[in-house]
Amino acid sequence: MRTVLITGAAGFLGSHLSDRFIAEGFRVVGMDNLLTGSMDNIAHLMPLKEFEFYYHDVSKFVHVPGELDYILHFASPASPIDYLKMPIQTLKVGSLGTHNLLGLARAKNARMLIASTSEVYGDPLEHPQQETYWGNVNPVGPRGVYDEAKRFQEAMTMAYHTFHGLETRIVRIFNTYGPRMRLNDGRVLPAFFSQALRGQGLTVFGDGSQTRSFCYVDDLVEGIYRLLMSDYAQPVNIGNQDETTIMQFAEEIMELVGNPDAHLDRRPLPTDDPKVRQPDISVARKVLGWSPKISREEGLRRTLPYFRETVAKADAVTKS
């Protein structure tokens, strides 16, 4: 049985990846310090003999006994509200954490995939964004702690690949959504769902003309799995090319939820907020034979029941 270490396993993406690798017949070693992750996301995996969990911060020395075939590094705060609140931890997990895990991969002769992000492109001057675009990032702005941590992570990973000959993969993840997202993580989709379900104002920054491209989590996991199993070492964009404005997205959520009290709440645009975001996925199509299959309409419909239940539970706790 092949073994994979997944850091950030109790997070949104890490938990879905754990599900996928167990379904593929792997033994999964999950690791998380629960800074932003939740044991609720992996509670269903804990009784399984194929799953083992370590409570650990990968910014410190990482030891995993036995053989490892693959490492997926998904540990990091990943939303503005988190990395603005925890800037040092964000920088450390992208730098020290990545260095520790690359060392572990080298010691175990394991292939390592890192979770990079579309944020390496910053507020892009190229649209859509290709992997060859170097980005437009403010290193000392409020988002720099996340953007530059990921850019360093890519550089360190590529250095291990070229200098040590380590098998590495780099995925640049664009906006992704689905069940197990945190209500209060500051990302647009949980915010819109929770606000619409509660009949509140959906927070739209600026004039709402800024764009995003949303990928359903099952599509993303499929792309990551294919990339890990490929022989391609350069960065690969994984995301959905179906671009929409934030204003249009808010209106779609309000229509889907159907709460007549929901309305728009306009706010000033945050510093360094990207105006556009859309992946060029030509490389993923050519190299991995991958493209997203689930439309935004279908993905939102699949995600709504999770948020209905999560909002209801949160509100019940507040009232009690």
- What is the dihedral angle through the alpha carbons of 40, 37, 109, 228, rounded to the nearest 10 degrees? 80
Alpha-carbon distance 194 to 312, whole Å? 10
Alpha-carbon distance 72 to 136, whole Å? 27
Helix (H) or strand (E) holding 117: strand 111-117
- What is the dihedral angle through the alpha carbons of 44, 171, 31, 308, rounded to the nearest 10 degrees? -40
Can you give the three-state secondary structure of 136-176, one letter per residue?
ECCCCCCCHHHHHHHHHHHHHHHHHHHHHCCCEEEEEECCE
The DSSP letter of residue 266 is: E
Alpha-carbon distance 229 to 47, whole Å? 27
CB-neighbour burial class of residue 137 (10 A; exposed 0-12, middle 13-18, buried 19+): buried
Alpha-carbon distance 51 to 89, whole Å? 27
Burial 72-87 (b: 16+ CB within 10 A, else e): bbbbbbbbbebbbebb
Residues annotated catalytic, as ranges: 146
CB-neighbour burial class of residue 259 (10 A; exposed 0-12, middle 13-18, buried 19+): middle
